[in-house]
Amino acid sequence: MKTYSFFLLSILICLPSFGQNRPEIIPLPTSYDKGEVPFPITATTKIQYSNKLLQEEAYFLQKMFLSQKAFPLGIETSEGSASDIHLVLSESVSDDYQLSIHPSRGITISSATETGIFHGIISLLQLADQAPLSEGRINIPSWQISDRPAYRWRGFMLDESRHFFGMEKVKSLLDWMAYYKLNKFHWHLTDAQGWRIAINGYPKLALIGGIGDNSDPNAPARYYTQAEIKEIVRYAAERKIDIIPEIDMPGHATAANRAYPEFSGGGSEKYPAFTFHPAKEETYAYLSTILREADALFPEQMIHLGGDEVSFGNQQWKTDPHVQQLMDSQGLEDLKAVEDYFMKRMADSLFALNNTILAWDEMADAGLPTDRSVLFWWRHDQPQQLQKLLENNIQTVICPRIPLYFDFVQQDNDRYGRKWGGNFNPLQRVYEFSLSQLEVPASKRSLILGFQANLWTETVTHEARLDYLTFPRLAALAEVAWTPTSQKDFGDFSNRLKKHLPLYQQAGIYFFDPFDADKH
């Protein structure tokens, strides 16, 4: 009895410090161990890197300490003293990165890749953000961390067609994605409401197609110039984020069709001029020119062609004699076959540019080549679509509306925002999402590239609203895609997350506070 109560007592004593047994990092690293004595970073600490290839990472670390902590850390390429931060590129590290903090040997981040070094830097910055600054020192707890992501696709999609947010907001989102080690920014740049990417060969796309948004069809044209896109791509690359543009086709094309009606395939009463024309050769030449310009701007060699919801507005195809002729000559049985034919031809244009085609799950049966396509499963209410993708051996990104659409609200009593059939996406539901909730046979697991959250913006009329829907769910998404399911724990995540809210506040982010929900 005595030993028993002693045992209970020791558990009780240990409990309050439980959180400290995990590093204050989101997403939680895969393995970690803590020493006793911290290492102090001061204004005179130096950064030293082992290989010229790491110069950009060293500058990034320097820039962050300067802007966030007002510490002007120096940079050295030669061997530094013991009190340094070392960045070491080393083939022998098999994890994504290792971060070692030692009271006398200083801080070492090692990895076989620059991306791994960057992730190690992010972990260090997060530890520094949670360490008290006293007497000019930031005491970093002496963690030994080995870390690697569970999935290689950790994505976030922003729709800037329905509402346009602009370069500064996109850069801020990229900052936060980097802070959570998210690595794919899917940029939905075209849709019915507005065309947001300048195309030199077809200037009216931006100048006329860029007019309007979901709040005001006459809002002055807003779009990204090619110079701005290059700047954003560079900014993302510095943060190890790939940008994937989406040029949605053959549906969701109304804005483009306002600019160049000669390529319109018509629409329906509810969705007028919704499609590109699938039976005119000129359409394919036109769209291929657009893709060639997009390819030159985005270095990742991946373009998302949409392919979603074509049936919303392809009614005119039924009566168009050119479409009928195409169906006869190509042996296409129905309009879905026309859609697939269209996408396959556009995929060929992408392959000629050495690109991979990305598209929504509507394309699961289109017969796209498995080695050059990635499809996005978004229709949570159609699990058979996911099964089709897997049966057809298609590489898949998991982004079901429930729970990964961030245009759906976080709490039941929100007055604005989406909630369909009583469904919405609270933080915990997002956090606890994992592959184990889906039917994915072990033999097909390698087809799953990872996870992505999508922020559609029909209802997102301004920045504060964007923030409110994105934060803090972005942090939960990070742990869905990075941390092994067996190590996830919502209670522990909540403890770490609480300490990120002041960071959002400092950054001027209008976040949803899950710990004080009634206030909203």
Nearest CB to ligand TNX, comparing residues 23 and 313: 313
Q: How far is the CB of 362 from ligand TNX (least distance, A)?
A: 8
List, as one string, the DSSP characters of 95-130. Answer: SSEEEEEETTTEEEEEESSHHHHHHHHHHHHHHHHT
Rounded to whole angstroms, the Cα distance separating 185 from 255 reads: 23
Tell me the two tokens of residue 339: 């859609």
Q: How many residues at the interface with ligand TNX, by CB under 6 A? A: 8
Q: Residues 61-80 vs ligand TNX: string with x where CB under 6 A?
A: --------------------
Residues in the chain: 520
Q: Which residues of 239-252 are buried (b: 16+ CB within 10 A; e: fewer)?
A: bbbbbbbbbbbbbb
Exposed / middle / buried, residue 439 (Cβ in 10 Å: 0-12, 13-18, 19+): exposed
Closest CA to 430 of 384, 494, 382: 494
Closest CA to 439 of 380, 365, 377, 387: 387
In the range 354-413, which residues lie near ligand TNX by CB under 6 A? 360, 378, 405, 407
Q: How far is the CB of 366 from ligand TNX (least distance, A)?
A: 15
Rounded to whole angstroms, the Cα distance separating 61 from 160 reads: 30
Q: Which of 260, 456, 471, 493 binds ligand TNX (CB under 6 A)?
A: 456
**Does residue 165 interact with ligand TNX by CB under 6 A?**
no
Rounded to whole angstroms, the Cα distance separating 240 from 201 reads: 30
Rounded to whole angstroms, the Cα distance separating 228 from 202 reads: 18
Rounded to whole angstroms, the Cα distance separating 240 from 183 reads: 6
Q: How far is the CB of 309 from ligand TNX (least distance, A)?
A: 5
Tell me the two tokens of residue 213: 């948004």
Q: How far is the CB of 252 from ligand TNX (least distance, A)?
A: 6
In the range 293-352, which residues lie near ligand TNX by CB under 6 A? 308-309
How many Cα neighbours within 13 Å face the side chain of 225?
3
Asked if 391 is an active-site residue, the reply is: no
Please say whether the beta carbons of 208 and 179 come within 8 A.
no
Nearest CB to ligand TNX, comparing residues 309 and 414: 309
Q: How far is the CB of 93 from ligand TNX (least distance, A)?
A: 38
Q: Which residues of 62-88 are buried (b: 16+ CB within 10 A; e: fewer)?
A: bebbeeebebebebeeeebeebbbbbb
Nearest CB to ligand TNX, comparing residues 177 and 363: 363
Q: How far is the CB of 186 from ligand TNX (least distance, A)?
A: 11
Nearest CB to ligand TNX, comparing residues 262 and 412: 412
The neighbouring-strand residues paired with 302 are: 356
Helices (H), 331-457: 335-352, 383-391, 401-404, 427-432
Rounded to whole angstroms, the Cα distance separating 426 from 473 reads: 8
Nearest CB to ligand TNX, comparing residues 39 and 405: 405
Nearest CB to ligand TNX, comparing residues 295 and 308: 308
Catalytic residue among 238, 309, 458, 463: 309
Nearest CB to ligand TNX, comparing residues 186 and 496: 186
Q: Is the peptide bond between 217 and the residue preceding it cis, with omega within 30 degrees of 0? A: no
Nearest CB to ligand TNX, comparing residues 96 and 339: 339
Q: How far is the CB of 376 from ligand TNX (least distance, A)?
A: 7
Nearest CB to ligand TNX, comparing residues 153 and 405: 405
Q: How far is the CB of 12 from ligand TNX (least distance, A)?
A: 47
Q: How far is the CB of 359 from ligand TNX (least distance, A)?
A: 9
Please say whether the beta carbons of 29 and 123 come within 8 A.
yes
Four-residue CA torsion sign, 18, 21, 24, 28: negative
Please say whether the beta carbons of 450 and 481 come within 8 A.
yes
Point out the residues that are catalytic.
309
Interface residue list for ligand TNX (CB under 6 A) = 308-309, 360, 378, 405, 407, 456, 458
